[in-house]
Amino acid sequence: MTDSPLRLLLEFDSQAQRDRSQPPTFLHRRDRKFALVCEEQGVAPDAARWLAHLNRLSGPRATPAATDQTLATWRRITAGFSAVGLIAGVLAMAGLLFYDGGQRINITVFLAFVLLHLVLALFTTLQSLAGWQPWRWLVQRFGVNPGDGVFNKLQPLLMARAAHLGGIAFAIAGLITLLGMVVVQDLAFGWSTTLDTAAASYHGFINTVATPWAWAWPAAAPDIVLVEATRFFRAGDPMASPEPALWGQWWPFVTMLWTIWVLLPRLILWGLAAVQTRQKARRLLASHPAMHALMYRMETPALDTGNSHHDADDLPDTSARSNLLPLPDSDILLCWAGAGEPELPEGLRSGKELVLRSGGSASLSDDDQTLSRISEHLKNRSKAVILLVRCWQPPTGELQDFLETARGTWPRGSRVALVPLAADSNQEPDAHQVQPWLRFAERVGSEFVQVSLPPFQMRDPYSAVGETL
């Protein structure tokens, strides 16, 4: 396709964004291996081959890439400019050639309109070269993110290319309308101006404008006789000319005027914008920061010295349960996933106004109701909840989700005392069974969850630890 350098730049920039989440060691091995494969095949590694290599490794894409979406958006913008240009070209030419059989079509107005169009075309090119983006609002409306990346530097040129293509559509539609009206109507042209201009001076100006095509089509370069015979005045009789047949002989000049000074500049400037877009895309790709990093990875050998970290010395934490805290004073007891069955210890059951069960076979709606009841109870009472769990069962994600929901539901400052119970609730759980719950409490948040043992189990050395805390 015509915008292959642009597509290459967009795909490379998109891949560079994705590579930011990869570790440097992986990127070095991957790209160095690609360079070695290219060396074996006798080809030079470049961005296009590198992207094709990554696409083969990743497999076919199931959804359109961001590059395709961006280019499709610009195609829609260009098509919109072209459609507007076609409609505007027909309307503009119909307005310029409006003839009711009385006043003649003024060639001077035609010249002024052509000059205006030429100035706008040159202004479009100059604003793109200066990097100004007067169409930024339109780009944002079509969903193209200006961003701060390399693609943002191409948008002025892309908008200029789209605007010039709209101008080409405008010129073609106007030319077709002109030729059609010349065939189906008897148009009467003439020239007039408020300034005191002699026919000879006006003829000299017309000859200057017609210089590009006078050698190829002499009839499209009016002579002095035609200029003198077709001048009209605002107060004169439009039918006073002795040769009305001369009024229609201006149409070759008007046709070539529109073709050379409206259509041709747009074609040249559109081609210039397309060439500049391709060249700038190549320059941006060559100077892309990720391209320098890629070339370094491909040229530098990757030394695989093994993993930078090993867990041979990362032994399980078997230290004393120094994070155990005394059981807080609370009248809310929550049994998780069957903890405390078949019967709760008397030391935990006494004095509790609210005893609830959750988790395990309970449904999500039951858990939500439990959270709501506890929340209402905590509003006017103590801010602590005793949560009983089975010490031999590992902490689950379900319990963590339950506690995270409770943190956002219960009043601010509420705390949970997590109590792991042994199989025999009158016995103390082993140290290795308490450690997972201590780590679980740290993971959830020590400001919200603490691990405690029932009062009848807080014997030395834990009671001493609790006193110091």
CB distance 252 to 217 below 8 Å: yes
CB distance 150 to 9 below 8 Å: yes
* Dihedral angle computed from the Cα positions of residues 337, 343, 347 and 351, in that order, rounded to the nearest 10 degrees: 80
Question: Which tokens go with 286?
Answer: 């060559």
Residue 460: the pLDDT is: 44
Lay out the sheet containing 449-451: strands in order across: 354-358, 332-336, 384-390, 415-421, 449-451
Residue 456: the pLDDT is: 58
Q: What is the C-alpha separation between 92 and 110, in angstroms, rounded?
A: 11
Q: What is the C-alpha separation between 1 and 187, in angstroms, rounded?
A: 44
- Residue 78's nearest CA partner among 14, 157, 151, 189 is 157
Q: For residue range 254-311, list pLDDT tens digits in order.
A: 999 999 999 999 999 999 999 999 999 999 998 888 899 999 888 888 665 555 555 5
Question: Which tokens go with 140?
Answer: 């944002």
Instruction: Note the pTM of the prediction, 2 decimals.
Output: 0.60
Q: What is the C-alpha separation between 375 and 373, in angstroms, rounded?
A: 5
- Residue 387's nearest CA partner among 363, 421, 426 is 421
Q: For residue range 91-148, list pLDDT tens digits in order.
A: 999 999 886 656 788 888 999 999 999 999 999 999 888 877 776 666 666 655 544 4
- Delineate the domains of the chain, giving CATH numbers in brackets: 66-289 (no CATH), 332-468 (3.40.50)
Burial of 375 (0-12, 13-18, 19+ CB in 10 A): middle
Neighbours of 327 (CB within 10 A): 20
Tens-binned pLDDT, residue by residue, of the chain (469 aa): 345 888 899 889 888 888 888 888 888 888 988 989 888 888 888 888 998 888 887 765 544 467 788 888 888 889 999 999 999 999 999 999 886 656 788 888 999 999 999 999 999 999 888 877 776 666 666 655 544 467 778 888 988 999 999 999 999 999 999 999 988 888 888 888 776 667 888 888 999 999 999 999 988 899 888 888 888 765 455 444 546 667 778 899 999 999 999 999 999 999 999 999 999 999 999 888 889 999 988 888 866 555 555 555 555 555 544 567 777 777 788 888 777 777 777 667 666 777 888 877 778 788 888 888 888 888 777 678 888 888 877 787 788 888 888 888 888 888 888 888 877 767 778 777 788 888 888 888 878 888 887 765 444 434 333 333 3
